[in-house]
A and B are shown apart, each in its own frame.
Chain A
Amino acid sequence: MIEITNLSKHYGDIVAVDDVSFRVEKGEILGFLGPNGAGKTTTMNILTGYISASSGVVTIDGHDILEEPLEAKRRIGYLPEAPPLYVDMTVMEYLSFVADLKGVPRRSRAAEIAEAMRLVRITDVAHRLIGNLSKGYRQRVGIAQALLGHPEVLVLDEPTVGLDPKQIIEIRNTIRDLGKDHTIILSSHILPEVSAICDRVVIINRGRIVALDDVATLNDRSRATREMELTVEGPAREIVQRLRVVPGIIDATVLREKDGIVTLTYETEPDTDVRRQVFYEMARNTWPILDTHGLEATLEDVFLQVTGNVQTPTGGREA
């Protein structure tokens, strides 16, 4: 459905996107993952026809975005990084305007707008001025706008940014539902988000694709190194010393200590589960474990895995 071939974009000396190629199949939800400045927004701006590439080809359902821009754009709903909202319009006026831009027929317009508003739960603010809406609501108006005109492809640049946790879950569910009859590409720098919603993931760093995987494979990789958080009642220094000698534990550090209750994290060797050993070790010293849970692998962890280098991927070029 979306085919990107050897895409590059230069800004003067900066290479924002460097020879990127991938495809998104019909009906697939593809996660586009990368740290700040990786080139996600730039790639999305190119594939929606907002800016041109320095080289490379993008086709949407067989229509080249440069050769047949109208045909290609008709098939795309785009939520840019900053939702393109006119603050002087009400939500209703704005969505009607966008429906007109997308050539939605007049008779189905009202129904389509109502449907989009229902999906992102903004029906109650339909007649409010966009300028007076909260950030989360603006984001949702942005998503509603992308849905108008029933585009087959949705391009969503960090769709859950600025939403509260409850809304994040709602929007993720909405996106998963939309995925049943849309092809979706969504960017994020939150790994759990991508693994929760997407079928496949493209990881990009400094403009280059560093991994292109099924979510299942990615999850396996990220499980390779694990960090656990542990809350114990007992003396901090001695607990750390004890933990460090448990086989399989690489390191342990105290996060905080208050009223004799210590919260710390420890890192284990790949594919090692040491929770039982830790339990017996603590029990032997009569330090009760109050809580223990695994920390989600961060994007950085995955990066270290897929790129195989230890240098941190963030803040590279921007610095």
Chain B
Amino acid sequence: MKQTQAIYRRELNAYFKSPIGYVLLAIFIFVSSLFFAVNLLGYYANIASELNFMQGLFFVLIPILTMKTFAEERRSGTEILLFTTPVTTPQIVVGKYLAAFTLFLIMTATTLIHVAITVLLQGTVDVLLLGTYVGFILSGAVYIAIGVMISSLTSNQIIAAIVSVVIFIGFMLLEAIASLLGNFTTTILQNLDFLNLLSAAQEAAAGEAVTKAVNWINPATRLVDFSSGIFRLTPIVFLISITLLFLYLTVQVLERRRWTQS
């Protein structure tokens, strides 16, 4: 516990000893405030749409947040300190993850100013917004866990960042890709099935199943509920599980690497 805390504090401090912490905060505040201001000018203050817009920027913001976590530690050789002191790998991963997540929460918290302004100007702040916040934070949690995992795979933070960006763009395209894959499956089945073993309905169903399966693993599709103000346990459990899964994978990557170093 004490060890996790020590790592957490060091990591969080490190964000503000390099430009990264400030750069992230600056980008976030600038873009979100701009969005808010533009809305305000049109007498249309909608924090939910602002959050959705910012979520669209996760694919660049989160990789900057997570690229260093393990890659830099490996490059500079400081990881040897963590791995040879009486600290467990899960403690290291959790400490670093929570530090990144905390900076993310600080970024998110800056939008509360916009909420306050909205309230002051007698705009609407309702339960839908709360749902949007929950969705925003939970999906941030997932993205950060994935980013941390990618950082543990390499000793080059730039590569870690690029791979994360590509994967996150992949997520955003995933819904489109999902229906494409579905249609593709149907087409292939139709072409292969020259003996007419399958009915057209079955072929279409197979395509739909593929689309559904891809959407099922896509965290983005789980967020729709939140922004419509519906709190259901399933998506919350799902997003937290994905987060834990990637933290677990990070632990595995780190141990496996030291254990089988070729």
Contact = CB atoms under 8 A, between A and B. Distances in A.
A17 B7 CA distance: 33
A280 interface: no
By secondary structure, the B interface counts as: helix
B2 A100 contact: yes
Interface stretch (A73-81, A187-195, A240-248, A295-303): A73-81
A82 B77 contact: yes
A101 B78 contact: no
B92 to A, nearest CB: 10
Interface string B66-98: 000000000011111111111110000000000
B179 interface: no
Contacts of A82: 77
Interface residues of A, number: 29
Interface stretch (B10-18, B132-140, B183-191): B10-18
B33 interface: no
Contacts of A51: 258-259, 261
A51 B255 CA distance: 9
Contacts of B261: 11, 51-52
B111 interface: no
B258 A52 contact: yes
A89 B7 CA distance: 13
B86 A70 contact: yes
A21 B81 CA distance: 25
B55 interface: no
A316 B93 CA distance: 40
Given A11-B262, A12-B262, A51-B258, A101 B80 contact: no
Interface of A: 11-12, 45, 48-52, 69-70, 73-74, 76, 78, 80, 82, 84-89, 97-98, 100-103, 145
12 contacts: A11-B261, A45-B80, A48-B84, A52-B258, A70-B88, A73-B86, A87-B76, A88-B14, A88-B17, A88-B18, A89-B17, A97-B10
